Amino acid sequence: MSRIREHNRELIIQAASEIFADQGYAATKIIEIANRAGLPKPNVYYYFKSKENLYRSVIESVIDPLLQAAQPFYEDDDPATVLEQYIIAKIKVSQQHPHASKVFASEIMHGAPHLPEDIAEKMMEQTIQSSNKIQSWVDRGLMDRVDPHHLLFTIWAATQTYADFDWQISRVTGKDNLSQQDYDTAAQQLTQLILKGCGVQTSKAAKAG
Amino acid sequence: MSRIREHNRELIIQAASEIFADQGYAATKIIEIANRAGLPKPNVYYYFKSKENLYRSVIESVIDPLLQAAQPFYEDDDPATVLEQYIIAKIKVSQQHPHASKVFASEIMHGAPHLPEDIAEKMMEQTIQSSNKIQSWVDRGLMDRVDPHHLLFTIWAATQTYADFDWQISRVTGKDNLSQQDYDTAAQQLTQLILKGCGVQTSKAAKAG
DNA sequence: CGGCATCTTAACTCCGCGGTCAACAATAAC
DNA sequence: GTTATTGTTGACCGCGGAGTTAAGATGCCG
């Protein structure tokens, strides 16, 4: 893989992720992507054979941050710690990968017609693990008797909303872009809401001991 | 407006809202809408002059339930009552108007390019009213010092997710469609989460007295 | 330099979909 | 009945965007 190839593929994927996020798959024109990348249209076809292929490359290029966010569930067993870290990680994804988040959201809203099955499975696997862990906390009396699935749905929705519905959020807050402080506030308030709302025993002792 | 006209317009709008929700604006073909409505394509153009016009009609046909959901904020002043009723109403919209919800979500995700400004303003107005009310509860010590905007974002996201991301929810829960019971559980758990999580004084006394 | 691979570009094809039209059928008005 | 209005239909047009091609430019080895 030559330097030029690598470089141009990156340019194109970056441009594509922005435009796919902005307009959705069907409304996106290859020439727009080419223009944003500063390249002629046939180059896009030279490096990626088709629009669909490019789209899949975009999705694949951004899976990692999305999957990484679930790490806290594998690294600890204290509900307060895990849930807090998970929420922070999720909001960070929305903040740092807004395009990726939107492409994914749009994809899932329309029934995930392009999502490779192995990726869908990986995410499903993570979900099962996370649910089981939450259930175990419930069983051990470390938090209220919540339904793990509904809890996850709420966390996903509340964290992703900062990327997916940024237009709405801009309008309501009156800011074109949220500041670091805004994201911190969001994460902190949501953490508080979830922990307190689920009656999580915030036992730092459990971690220290 | 003749009977036939009224009837066919309804058929088309119903079909259109399903397909727009399913595929998004750009990916939707008029002939698909016509087929689902059981009419030839030119009829769609006879009753609605253009695709864009039809799309706007779809949006307008479903504004009411969306706006109605905010009623609880105007009918009461007890935080526990209002928030509970609001969450129930919002989830009911997701349950009863899944297509409408999706069309709106998709529209907003892409920067609301087709949303009539007067509708956007109405929603903005509601948001301001709701925020102010929440702020007044905070000021009166009826709940924790939460940021009203972030609280609303969370409620919106968590309630809409049951319509917008139904594919994901189906996969995780293993059910093609959620039952009435599932929606009730979701509403009840989310209410509990929000009320407890925001330290809302659940004073039925305030209402009775 | 020469010779090979990689990259770039303008000009092109193809086709699907938004939108139209003109003739026809059905209904309503009298 | 006659006429006017409304509704239906198949065949059509034009555009714009996905994808192609073939020639030329550029880099990359000796």
**Whole-number pLDDT of residue B62:** 83
Per-residue pLDDT for B207 more than 60?
Answer: no
List phi, psi (to 5°) of A48.
-125, 130
Contact B106 A108 (CB under 8 A): no
**Nearest-CA distance A161 → chain B (Å):** 6
Chain B residues 39-58 within 7 Å (CB) of strand C: 41-42, 45, 49-52
Distance measured from the CA of protein residue A42 to the C1' of nucleotide C11, in angstroms: 12
Distance measured from the CA of protein residue A48 to the C1' of nucleotide C6, in angstroms: 15
Homologous superfamily of B1-49 in CATH?
Homeodomain-like (1.10.10.60)
- Chain C: positions less than 7 Å from a protein CB are 6-11, 16-22, 28
Helix (H, G, I), strand (E, B) or coil at B167: helix
Q: Is the CB of B23 under 7 A from strand C?
A: no
CB atoms within 10 A of CB A100: 23
pTM of this structure? 0.94
- In terms of pLDDT, which residue wins out, B209 or B136? B136
User: What's the CA gap between B106 and A55, in Å, rounded?
Assistant: 18
Per-residue pLDDT for B209 more than 50?
Answer: no
Q: How far does CA A196 lie from the centroid of its chain?
A: 24
Helix (H, G, I), strand (E, B) or coil at A203: coil
CATH 1.10.357.10 for domain B60-201: yes
In order along its 209 residues, chain A shows pLDDT tens digits of 578 899 999 999 999 999 999 999 999 999 999 999 999 999 999 999 999 999 999 999 889 999 999 999 999 999 999 999 999 999 999 999 999 999 999 999 999 999 989 999 999 999 999 999 999 999 999 999 999 999 999 999 999 999 999 999 999 999 999 999 999 999 999 999 999 999 998 765 444 43
Chain A residue with minimum CA distance to B162: A153
Alpha carbons within 13 angstroms on the beta-carbon side of residue B90 total 26
**Whole-number pLDDT of residue B206:** 47
All CATH 1.10.357.10 domain ranges of chain A, comma separated, are 60-201
Q: Please provide the DSSP assignment of A7-52 as one string.
A: HHHHHHHHHHHHHHHHH-TTT--HHHHHHHHTS-HHHHHHHSSSHH
| Three-class secondary structure assignment of A149-193 | HHHHHHHHHHHHHHHHCHHHHHHHHCCCCCCHHHHHHHHHHHHHH
State the average pLDDT over residues B17-22: 97
User: Which pair of structure tokens corresponds to residue B5?
Assistant: 């006209």
**Nearest-CA distance B65 → chain A (Å):** 19
All CATH 1.10.10.60 domain ranges of chain B, comma separated, are 1-49
